[in-house]
Amino acid sequence: MSLMASSAVKKTISLPRELAREVDERARVEHKTSSAVIQDALWAARRRRLRRELRDLQGYWSRKAKEKGILSDADLERYSQ
């Protein structure tokens, strides 16, 4: 996912030496800037977090439906009428 340069905000961050080396190496191998490598990692972490939150919500509403005896689309149709 890319952002237009005009929407970018510069931040200064500190990384442990080992992680900084890993970022630099990955940037070199992937022909990217260190900033792009860190952005990719943050976007990936965000996607994982959102997927986890979605699964949690689905699980919550699935449990609620089962408590009410809603186990199929037909059950849902009867319950919503």
**Domain annotation covers residue 5:** no
**Domain annotation covers residue 27:** yes
Encoded amino acid at 25, one letter: E
**Domain annotation covers residue 1:** no
Q: Is the pTM of this model over 0.85?
A: no
**Domain annotation covers residue 9:** no
Q: 11: which 2 tokens?
A: 């931040």
Q: 26: which 2 tokens?
A: 């990955």
CB atoms within 10 A of CB 23: 19
Under the phi-then-psi rule, with left for phi > 0, alpha for psi from -120 to 50, and beta for the rest, what region is 33? beta
Q: Please state the domain count of the chain.
A: 1
pLDDT, mean of each 10-residue run, the chain (81 residues): 68 96 98 97 98 96 90 79 68
